[in-house]
């Protein structure tokens, strides 16, 4: 994969694409209308901010020496390695990060200008704040055990509610509720990817949940949150926040079982755990897409 595509962590951009599509589809389900220009501007803006955040994290982990200290990187953890391999200069990564954040912010400002109120402005500022200071000084949220919370909020409620608001120009408690499953699942992606990075994180003072809790308790938390993701889908259907068709999200259970079994048996084995890392990434996308399909089927049928 070309160096810049590695640096922006292209496969992980589904973390933004799925909640944007979910919030927009929920708005269409509720109103019957869909504003395509606003959808594309919101999607591109959110993706640019996500790219900026990924690059900021790449730069931040370089500055702290975290990625350099990681001697056992995997395809899903340990950073993209483009700086460590001399493919892209750190200053170029930082510049591209700031440029992406600025461009994404400009698209957000445009949407805020054409959409009633300043909701998009507020949500966007919170998102940029959480994203940049995930690894940026002085807060470094990801170094203080708050990375999973920041990611869950940013790629859950903020993105889903914002995408919904862009379409209907009103805040919705329902949009917040339907964001919870995808928010939990994207937090699980970060959590499970912290296992291979444990030693490097510990050595460089990056206090992730895996470092703070230890591998055994961290995998128990992973399993509890995995259960919570599916429980939240069932609960949201029961309280009519999600349509009954959204129960098709449970078709993803075989993949969830694989993630559970592999993580249970290999949480302290670097390469043995890799299928669980990959399965967790797939679960976030699959559950989100099945929820989107559930909204579409309920509207059409």
Gyration radius from the chain CA atoms: 19
Q: What is the pTM of this model?
A: 0.96
What pLDDT shows up at residue 137?
81
pLDDT averaged per 10 residues, the chain (length 301): 94 96 98 97 96 93 91 86 96 96 95 96 92 86 95 97 97 96 98 95 94 97 98 98 98 98 96 96 98 98 89
What pLDDT shows up at residue 76?
87
What pLDDT shows up at residue 5?
96
Q: Which long-range contacts (CB under 8 A, 24 or more apart) does 69-75 make?
A: 69/200, 69/203, 69/204, 70/197, 70/199, 70/200, 71/200, 72/196, 72/199, 72/200, 72/270, 73/196, 74/196, 74/270, 74/271, 74/274, 74/277, 75/274
What pLDDT shows up at residue 78?
85
**Measured between alpha carbons, how far is 183 from 253 in angstroms, rounded to an integer?**
18
Q: What are phi and psi of 119, to 5 degrees?
A: -65, -45
**Measured between alpha carbons, how far is 19 from 25 in angstroms, rounded to an integer?**
10
């Amino acid at each position: 994969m070309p160096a810049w595509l590695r640096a922006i962590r292209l496969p992980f951009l589904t973390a933004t694409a799925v909640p944007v599509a979910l919030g927009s589809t929920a708005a269409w389900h509720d109103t019957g209308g869909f504003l395509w220009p606003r959808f594309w501007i919101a999607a591109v803006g959110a993706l640019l901010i996500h790219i900026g955040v990924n690059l900021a994290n790449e730069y931040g982990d370089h500055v702290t020496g975290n990625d350099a200290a990681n001697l056992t990187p995997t395809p899903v953890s340990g950073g993209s390695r483009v700086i460590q391999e001399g493919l892209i200069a750190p200053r170029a990564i930082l510049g591209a990060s700031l440029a992406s954040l600025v461009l994404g912010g400009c698209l957000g400002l445009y949407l805020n200008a054409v959409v009633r109120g300043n909701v998009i402005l507020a949500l966007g500022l919170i998102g940029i704040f959480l994203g940049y200071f995930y690894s940026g000084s002085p807060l470094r949220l990801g170094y203080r055990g708050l990375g999973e919370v920041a990611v869950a909020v940013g790629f859950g409620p903020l993105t889903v509610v914002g995408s919904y608001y862009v379409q209907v120009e009103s805040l919705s408690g329902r949009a917040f509720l339907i964001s919870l499953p995808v928010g939990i699942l994207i937090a699980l992606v970060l959590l499970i990817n912290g296992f291979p990075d444990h030693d490097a994180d510990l050595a460089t003072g990056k206090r992730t949940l895996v470092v703070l809790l230890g591998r055994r308790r961290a995998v128990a938390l992973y399993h509890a949150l995995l259960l919570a993701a599916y429980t939240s889908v069932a609960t949201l259907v029961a309280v009519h926040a999600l349509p009954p068709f959204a129960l098709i999200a449970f078709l993803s259970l075989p993949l969830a079982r694989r993630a559970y079994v592999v993580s249970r048996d290999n949480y302290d084995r670097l390469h043995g755990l890799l299928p669980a890392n990959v399965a967790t990434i797939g679960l976030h996308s699959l559950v989100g897409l099945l929820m989107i399909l559930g909204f579409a089927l309920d509207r059409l049928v």
